[in-house]
Amino acid sequence: MIRKINLWSFLLMFVCWVLFFFSVSEFFLPFNQHYLVLGFTIIVFMFSVIGLGDVTNGKKALRSTLTIAGTLTLIFVEAGVLVLANIFKFT
């Protein structure tokens, strides 16, 4: 099962980035999409850390490292967006 978590977390990282770029555009939803993307990214980050248990060769190690780096980057970007949005709220 851990083998699949490593691969799925890598694929879900790309889904998180696509969701981030969709949340930047203005969709009319009753909630802020950035909170949803941030929560989903944190879950994918936890799965990627669990997937480190399957690292047996260089390819899997690179995939795990890229997944962790990609999700951490997105977590910091989303947190920054949410903090700045709350600081500069005009309503």
pLDDT tens digits for range 18-76: 999 888 776 667 778 889 999 999 999 999 999 888 788 888 889 999 999 999 999 99
Helix (H) or strand (E) holding 34: helix 33-50
Q: Is-above-0.85 flag for pTM?
A: yes
Listed residue (87, 5, 6, 79) closest to 42, CA to CA: 79
Which sign, positive or negative, has the C-alpha torsion 56, 58, 59, 61? Answer: positive
Tokens of 22: 């969709």
Q: Which residues contact 75 (CB under 8 A, 6 or more apart)?
A: 38, 41, 42, 45
The continuous run of DSSP H or E covering 12 comes out as helix 2-24
Cβ–Cβ contacts within 10 Å for residue 90, how many?
A: 3
The answer to whether 70 touches 26, Cβ cutoff 8 Å, is: no
